[in-house]
Structure 1
Amino acid sequence: MAGTVRGPLLDTIRNKTVAAKLLSLSGLFAVYKPKGPTSADLVNHLKAKLLEEAGLPKPSRNTRNHILKIGHGGTLDSAATGVLVVGIGEGTKMLSDMLAGSKKYLAIGQLGKATNTFDSSGKVTEEKPYHQITKEELENVLRKFTGSIMQVPPLYSALKKDGQRMSALVTKGEAVEPKPARPVIVYSLSLRNFKPPLFTLDVECGGGFYVRSLVNDIGRELSSCASVQELTRTKQGPFTLEEHALYEDKWTIDEIARSLEHCMPLLSVEPSRKKLKTELSEEHTVSCEDK
């Protein structure tokens, strides 16, 4: 039929339409990070999938003006899983709010064993008895770590010294002094389960907080030692693992567009950090729930 668009021309038109839709995406959405990759690796993989779907070239490392702006707000450890908030387009400018906002974690700790990374990925550096520790003692210790506290970040972290990540420097064998203790905030801390040597915590905290350091400090406070065995971020800002995190099979332009439409209104109803801090100052409670 005269005037019908066929073959390569139709593909070109379709590709341009898909590319235009990708480059028009703007805002924040959440993805699920599995155990293994770094947060940066995961975002790079996501970016590559989207560019491939749109028929756009993957930018080289030397390219400064990337065709697609995308980044994450709040690093998850390689061994951790859960919610990772991603900004795309102009949404990348909103990621600083995610870095400072509240986060929720489900952490499984192990008593009696410490590692150099404070989690199961590291080498065991110390073992101590733990059978004397009771549930009540652990509950009492948790109270000491609720509210505004001082915390020393772990050596194996994304924090930088002289422009390089501390974890990279330590891995190379260089002598690295721990960062000084800094103020952090724990909005809530509850014991979900206690079956020695394992214990499970629900944690809601502010920006710059390390659950690995928390578990390590809890072990020392109990005159023993402890390390994280499993860590899952269940919520970051208004984004929850169950409702909002896209798994890799949903990393498509259309699915992300739908997620942006669904998620962006949530940002206007998320409680402010100031409100959370006010509520925290009014009530410091630690609860325990057996499951």
Structure 2
Amino acid sequence: MNKTIAAKLRSFNGLFAVYKPKGPTSAAVLNRLRAKLLAEAGILTPTRRKRKHVLKFGHGGILDSDAAGVLVVGIGKGTKMLSSLLAGSKKYTAVGELGKATDTFDSTGKVTEEKPYDWITKEDLENVLQKFTGNIMQVPPLYSALKKDGQRLSDRVKKGEAVEAKPARPVMVYSLALKNFKPPLFTLDVECGGGFYVRSLVNDIGKELSSCATVQELTRTKQGLFTLEEHALYEDKWTIDGIAQALECCMSLLQAEPSRKKLKTELSEEHAVSCEDK
């Protein structure tokens, strides 16, 4: 173990963002990140029970396995700040497919319905989007991380259990725009609040058009103040020095917010690096 590097790693407190690729779960990405940092410091990978005591990690909201994009990570005392991100604003780019519905509301599921869509115009779709902007009611998908009796709904469904959908709940859509329309595919830019499911949105849009629709691709482009383009670290940057830079740069974004100013004093001077060096 390199004691100097290990001490630097253990001193980290704050928030930063990583890029989650399509495929792995959010938890798997976090475990991969933790393993790389521990290996660089020469710290033996702890057992699952002791893992959080060696290096405390958390993320600011699950991103579907089949989705990619920004995953905000809290390390050390920064994990206490993650709850504010769960209710904060998020932006997504979604590619939907008309004429097809699946049980998961995305391309990973089994096709449950197919309907004609050739009569749907760009204007039809744009008009429908207006109904899904602002404060709306939304029913979450069955395949989700929401829990009943301590178990995820998606896990219960996969076990073959009869599961009722959660009741509709209020969600906020700040903006919703059609960026591309090449039937059967269409691309949406969505900015929404916490608890919102883009998969449910696309499914509901299909129904509103008297057809059906499912998500083919989903990318989270922003979460809170963290953007995919400016702040998300790709795996080749998952190093102790890379995280040190990201912490310093990303935490500077939050210092202007009064409720988060106190975190500045928690950041170790050992890993202070100029944003311009990133």
Give the alignment's TM-score, normalised by structure 2. 0.91
Unmatched segments (≥5 aa) in structure 1:
1-11, 273-291
Q: Which residue of 2 aligns with 1:165?
A: 152
Q: Distance in 2 between matches of 1:94 and 1:223?
A: 42
8 A Cα contact 1:237 1:270, kept in partner: no
Q: Distance in 1 between matches of 2:76 and 2:118?
A: 53
Q: Which residue of 2 aligns with 1:187?
A: 174
CA drift at 1:66: 1.7
Q: Which residue of 1 aligns with 2:245?
A: 258
Percentage of pairs with the same residue: 79
Q: Distance in 1 between matches of 2:34 and 2:223?
A: 21
Task: From 48, 53, 56, give the equivalent of 1:66.
Answer: 53
Q: Which residue of 2 aligns with 1:234?
A: 221
CA drift at 1:57: 2.0
Q: Distance in 2 between matches of 1:89 and 1:77?
A: 24
What do the CA deviations read for 1:207-266 (whole angstroms, capped 9, x no partner)? 000000000000000000000000000000011101100001100010000011111011
Change (3 A) 1:88 1:225: same
Q: Which residue of 1 aligns with 2:102?
A: 115
Root mean square deviation of aligned Cα: 1.4
Q: Tell me, what secondary structure is at the counterpart of 2:229?
A: helix
Q: Which residue of 2 aligns with 1:249?
A: 236
8 A Cα contact 1:106 1:202, kept in partner: yes
Q: Distance in 1 between matches of 2:258 and 2:122?
A: 32
Q: Which residue of 2 aligns with 1:18?
A: 5
Task: From 45, 50, 53, give the equivalent of 2:37.
Answer: 50
Q: Distance in 2 between matches of 1:257 and 1:102?
A: 25
8 A Cα contact 1:238 1:270, kept in partner: no
Task: From 28, 41, 48, give the equivalent of 2:15.
Answer: 28
CA drift at 1:94: 0.4
What do the CA deviations read for 1:88-137 (whole angstroms, capped 9, x no partner)? 01000000011111000000000000000000000100000000111111
Q: Distance in 1 between matches of 2:222 and 2:52?
A: 32
Task: From 158, 175, 195, give the equivalent of 1:208.
Answer: 195
Letter in 2 for 1:164: Q
Q: Tell me, what secondary structure is at the counterpart of 1:212?
A: helix
Unmatched segments (≥5 aa) in structure 2:
260-278
CA drift at 1:50: 0.8
Q: Tell me, what secondary structure is at the counterpart of 2:187?
A: strand
CA drift at 1:52: 1.0
CA drift at 1:55: 1.2
Task: From 73, 76, 81, give the equivalent of 2:63.
Answer: 76
Q: Tell me, what secondary structure is at the counterpart of 2:30?
A: helix
Q: Which residue of 2 aligns with 1:105?
A: 92
Q: Distance in 2 between matches of 1:70 and 1:104?
A: 23
Worse-superposed segment, 261-270 or 53-62: 261-270
Q: Distance in 2 between matches of 1:207 and 1:20?
A: 35
Q: Which residue of 1 aligns with 2:138?
A: 151
Q: Tell me, what secondary structure is at the counterpart of 1:264?
A: helix
Aligned positions, number: 259
What do the CA deviations read for 1:162-195 (whole angstroms, capped 9, x no partner)? 1011101101101100000000000000000111
CA drift at 1:76: 0.3
CA drift at 1:268: 3.6
CA drift at 1:270: 6.8
What do the CA deviations read for 1:29-53 (whole angstroms, capped 9, x no partner)? 0000001100011101111111111
Change (3 A) 1:221 1:271: farther
CA drift at 1:56: 1.2
Change (3 A) 1:129 1:118: same
